[in-house]
Amino acid sequence: MKIKLNPKSQIVVLTGAGVSAESGLKTFRDNNGLWENHRVEDVATPEAFRQFPELVWKFYKDRYFQLAQVKPNPAHVALVELENFLGDNFNLITQNVDGLHFKAGNKNVIEMHGSLYECFCSDCNNRFLMKDIDLDLEIPVCSKCRGYLRPDIVWFGEIPYHLNRIQQIMSKLDLFLVIGTSGIVYPAAQLLPIAKSCGAHTVGINLEEPANLLYLDDFYKGLSGEILPDLVKQWIGKV
């Protein structure tokens, strides 16, 4: 199906680790089931933070400092072009925590798994920017109550952010675009069949076929930075 958008088209985009990988950030998990050489259970669960807070903080500080070395890639830039064309009719849901969509210039972004740029107190829930806390400490502490701070990341076993808002924007859409996701991490993976059930046209871009491929009307296998810019130009009539 040839897609032709107009400024009134309702578009929702879901992005995953594959988009960030093209900017040089490691993907969510390596093929051996490890996350940057750590078991997920050791660095990305509330239980891990209670048992090994120093290890968890080292892991996320390494990732935070890496952000200064990466920049948005052509896929991020194409999504900014799409938002500029659609305005408030564009919504971007991301599983990524690296802030690259904001850095590229997107505004309507929902970070359902949190942000590496923020943290909060595990005791009093006061929130802080990473740049404002003492990251030289093995376990940064809250300036209000001296409790342990933790990265503002949704870990396994926790409920993603903004689910009510996501439900609202998924109720009316013309096109659902899925980029760089494996289709195995829930509840994000459930958004594609929801979009399909709402009558949206569904498009996917990924290096490998996702687990929920059957819900995609169109699938493009390859790098999103190479595929998406041309698609966006076609959709908005720039070619």
Q: Which residues are catalytic?
A: 113
How far is the C-alpha of 51 from the C-alpha of 139, rounded, in Å? 12
How far is the C-alpha of 57 from the C-alpha of 149, rounded, in Å? 9
Residue 28: C-alpha distances to residues 71, 147, 151 (Å): 18, 29, 16
How far is the C-alpha of 95 from the C-alpha of 44, rounded, in Å? 14
Residue 172: C-alpha distances to residues 178, 186, 189, 208 (Å): 16, 21, 18, 28
Reading phi first (left if > 0) and then psi (alpha if -120 to 50, else beta), residue 117 is in alpha
